[in-house]
Structures are given as C-alpha cells and as structure tokens.
Amino acid sequence: MAEARASDPSTGRKNIFRTLEFDTRLLGMVGAFVVVCLVFNILTDGRFLTPRNIFNLTIQTVSVAIMATGMVFVIVTRHIDLSVGSLLATCSAMMAITQTQFLPGLGLDYGNPLIAPLAIVVGLLTGAVIGGLHGWLVGYLTIPAFIVTLGGLLVWRNVAWYLTSGQTIGPLDDTFQTLGGIGGTLGVTGSWVLGILAVLVACLAIWQARRARIAHEFPVKPVWAEFVLMAISTALILGFVATLNAYEVPTRVLQRSFEARGETMPEGYTQGYGVPFSVLLLIAVAVVMTLVARRTRLGRYIFATGGNPDAAELSGINTRLLTVKVFVIMGVLCALAGVVASARLSFHSNDIGTLDELRVIAAAVIGGTALAGGMGTIYGAILGALIMQSLQSGMAMVGVDAPFQNIVVGTVLVVAVLVDIIYRKRTGDS
C-alpha cells in the first residue's frame, strides 16, 4: 500500500505544488479563467483567443480592475462601497468639463499639452474629496458604509448628470485619449523592452525574496523550484507581450498616418499595437497597492483592523482615520478608472460606469477577498476582474442578451461567495 501511494501521480503533483508553494486559491482562479477562455473559444470558432480580442479584453478590464484593487482595502476593513460607478461618473464629468469648458475659457485651447494633466488632477481631487466625505461619514459619524455608499450611488450619478446638463461631453483632448487603450500604445519595440524589464524585475523579486527568507532563517524552496517560478513568470510576461504585439494596426489606419506626414506607406508594411498605456497604468496601480498592502504601516493597519477591529483600536490604531484614508484611496482609484473609461470612449456619457459597482465588488470577491474582512489580495482582485470581463465579452460574442449576461454575473458572484465560505471552513481560516 505504501508503494502504491508513493507511485500515485496525484501525490506527486501535490508534492510539486507544495514545494513550489502555489496558492491553491490562485490556482483555482487561474483554472477557472482558462476554462472560460477555452469554452468561449470553442463557441466562437476560435475568435475569442485571437490577438485582437485579447487586446480588447485587456483594455476593457482596466477600469474595473483599478477600482477592484481599492475595493480590496474597503472590504478587508469590513466595509463596502456601492457608489464606485457613480463616483467614476462624477469624476469623469468633472474632467470632461475641465477639458472642454473651463480650461479653454482660461486660454488653454484644444491640443494644449497642459489640458490632459490638469484635467486628471481635477478628477483625482474630486475623487479624493468625495471618498474622504464617505470615509468621514462612516468612520466619525458611524453611519454604516452600506447606507452611506448606497446614498452615494444615487447622489453622485445625478450630480454628474447636472454637471453636464444631461449631455454627452466631447471629444476629449487627444493626449487624454491616449490613456484609453487603443489610442495610445508602446508599439512593438517598446513592448518588448517593457517585457524584458518586467522579466528581470520578476526574477530579481523571486531571488530577493529567497535571500530575505534565508536571512531571517525561514525555510526556503529548493533552488530548482525558484527557477521554475522564474521560468513560469518569464513565459507569462513574454507570452502576453507577444500576443498584444501580434494585433496589427489596420492598413487603412496606417495609410492615413503616412498621408498625414506626407509620406507613402511601403508595400506590405505592418505594425503591431503592443501594450496599451492603460495597461501600464493598471500595472503601476497594482504594484503601488501591493506595496502598500505588504510593506507599509498603513497596509498592516488595514489588515489588522479587518481581522479584529476592537483589538486594533485597543492596540492604538486610529480606526476612524484609517476608514477615511481607505475611502480616499477608493475615491482616487475611481477617478483613475474614470480617466481610462472616458478616454477609451473619447467622450463623457451619462451612463458611464453604470453597474460598475456590481463588477468591482464581484471582482474583489471572486479574487478571494473575504466579506468578513481581514483577507484579500490585489492580484486576486485583478484576476477576478479579468474573469468577469471574459465572461461578459464571451457571452456578447456568442450573442447572449444583456439581461441574461447580468443574470450570469449575479449568479457567479453568489457562487464565488459560497465557494469562499466552503474553502475557509475546510482550511480553518476565519
């Protein structure tokens, strides 16, 4: 019997996973994402996993993923924010008005290089102020976050409507639009440079983590396991870059570009899009939020408060001020998401961000953030957002009606919470 167990392939796989220290929850999410992609690729006759669709899927995920990273902090501290979609709309409206009405009135005409950065600053300040207001109401006036943000969902959606008089505002500044996705990319060469740098950083981070564990006399993985992780990271990063580079700019677009410069396009000339600037913004947000969560006092306080609010307060943590800070972060991230969402559309519309609160909360929960507080990861929330967008995009390509798409999304959210509850009971996590 002992020999049979030793030769069991499943036992060997478990030992490999244990040696590599893979997060079983992460593996489950990756597995679900792969299954979703393969199923829709079959149903769409291979159109789902084309470079073009992956590129579009990526830029469509960015705005929700950015907000989902902030929702992790909100839910970890045992709160909720139902107003993120409406707050995005208000920030988007403020930025659109700044670009098309306020700054031109000050003599900054369309195309001025200062328009985009000034508009973004206005949006970020708007998000920070509104987020701070929510945090003050929750933290200092002790109004439940559910009620505060439910009210915010109604208030800020209609504030955005009044700011624009119910009109669509645009076109937005050309520089601003480059943050939307297809209008601004690194190109093939720049994307390969980014990919190589990302590989070097990932490998260095893995090796530095090993050295830190050795320095603190913690157990470490075998050297071969570290190199396997480096190889997997390299394959994923370069594979992602290669896929985005494979999506070629349409010939008519290239022709117009050459004609605008007074040149003739060479016969057979092609050009790939590469990594969009909006994806770079998401990567930057993910890195910063991960560092905040793991390497700063603020991050430790957030997770400590979520784990046990009473104990955190007794230990000297100002949980009220912490709540304000968390909602300010959420507001700023809503503004950044508003930049990406409106830039991708090239204008501000009244329905921008509609139902994003559902998608953001679902992304965080699917990504492993515990509704009971105290547990969650940034990378999990981003992967959850990607799974949600893959479901919606796949269903749209198959021809599923929008109402049924929402039914599926709602069902997935409930199932994700159920799976989370079962997982915690089996692993003993509270």
Q: Give pLDDT tens digits for 50-70.
A: 999 999 999 999 999 999 999
Look at residue 386 in the predicted model and tell me its pLDDT. 92
Q: Are residues 209 and 165 part of one domain? A: no
pLDDT, tens digit (0-9, with 9 covering 90-100), for 239-270: 999 999 999 888 887 888 777 777 777 877 78
For residue 60, the tally of other CB atoms under 10 A from its CB is 21
The answer to whether position 402 is within a domain reads yes
Euclidean distance between CA atoms 51 and 144, whole angstroms:
45
The answer to whether position 215 is within a domain reads yes
Counts for the chain of helices (H) and strands (E), in that order? 19, 0
The residues with which 169 forms a beta bridge, in sequence order, are 348
Q: Are residues 303 and 268 part of one domain? A: no
Look at residue 267 in the predicted model and tell me its pLDDT. 79
More confident residue, 223 or 317: 317
pLDDT, tens digit (0-9, with 9 covering 90-100), for 115-172: 999 999 999 999 999 999 999 999 999 999 999 999 999 999 999 999 998 899 878 8
Phi, psi of 352 (to 5 degrees): -65, 135
Euclidean distance between CA atoms 72 and 226, whole angstroms:
29
The residues, any chain, with a CB within 8 Å of residue 229's CB and separated by 6 or more, are 20, 206
Q: Determine which of 248-262, 291-305, 352-366 has the lowest per-residue pLDDT on average.
A: 248-262
Q: Are residues 154 and 295 part of one domain? A: yes
Q: Determine which of 72-76, 271-275, 326-330 has the lowest per-residue pLDDT on average.
A: 271-275
Euclidean distance between CA atoms 143 and 151, whole angstroms:
11
The residues, any chain, with a CB within 8 Å of residue 204's CB and separated by 6 or more, are none
The answer to whether position 14 is within a domain reads no
Asked if 66 and 285 count as a contact pair (C-beta separation under 8 A), the reply is yes
pLDDT, tens digit (0-9, with 9 covering 90-100), for 368-400: 888 888 888 999 999 999 998 998 899 988 888
The answer to whether position 5 is within a domain reads no
C-alpha torsion sign, points 274, 207, 381, 152:
negative
Q: Are residues 294 and 160 part of one domain? A: yes
Total structural domains within the chain: 2
The answer to whether position 169 is within a domain reads yes
Look at residue 13 in the predicted model and tell me its pLDDT. 53
* DSSP output for 135-152: HHHHHTS---HHHHHHHH
Asked if 430 and 424 count as a contact pair (C-beta separation under 8 A), the reply is yes
pLDDT, tens digit (0-9, with 9 covering 90-100), for 166-188: 899 878 888 899 998 788 889 89
Q: Are residues 262 and 218 part of one domain? A: yes
Look at residue 423 in the predicted model and tell me its pLDDT. 73
Rounded mean pLDDT of the chain?
Answer: 87
Q: Are residues 148 and 211 part of one domain? A: no
Mean pLDDT calculated for residue range 81-103 = 94
Domain endpoint, select from 246, 275, 304: 275
The answer to whether position 8 is within a domain reads no
Q: Are residues 383 and 304 part of one domain? A: yes
Domain containing residue 247: 185-275
Look at residue 63 in the predicted model and tell me its pLDDT. 94
The answer to whether position 31 is within a domain reads no
Mean pLDDT calculated for residue range 179-206 = 90
Residue 15, classified by CB atoms within 10 Å of its CB into exposed (0-12), middle (13-18) or buried (19+), is exposed
Look at residue 322 in the predicted model and tell me its pLDDT. 96
Closest CA to 55 of 243, 281, 271: 243
Q: Are residues 193 and 129 part of one domain? A: no
Look at residue 427 in the predicted model and tell me its pLDDT. 66
- Share of residues in the chain with pLDDT > 90 (%): 50
pLDDT at 298 exceeding the cut of 50: yes
Q: Are residues 178 and 210 part of one domain? A: no
pLDDT tier for residue 103 given thresholds of 50, 70 and 90: confident
Look at residue 7 in the predicted model and tell me its pLDDT. 45
Domain endpoint, select from 234, 257, 275: 275
Q: Are residues 358 and 404 part of one domain? A: yes
Look at residue 287 in the predicted model and tell me its pLDDT. 94
Domain endpoint, select from 251, 275, 299: 275
Mean pLDDT calculated for residue range 291-308 = 93
Asked if 17 and 210 count as a contact pair (C-beta separation under 8 A), the reply is no
The answer to whether position 4 is within a domain reads no
Q: Are residues 344 and 296 part of one domain? A: yes
Q: Are residues 395 and 307 part of one domain? A: yes
At 179, which helix (H) or strand (E)? Answer: none
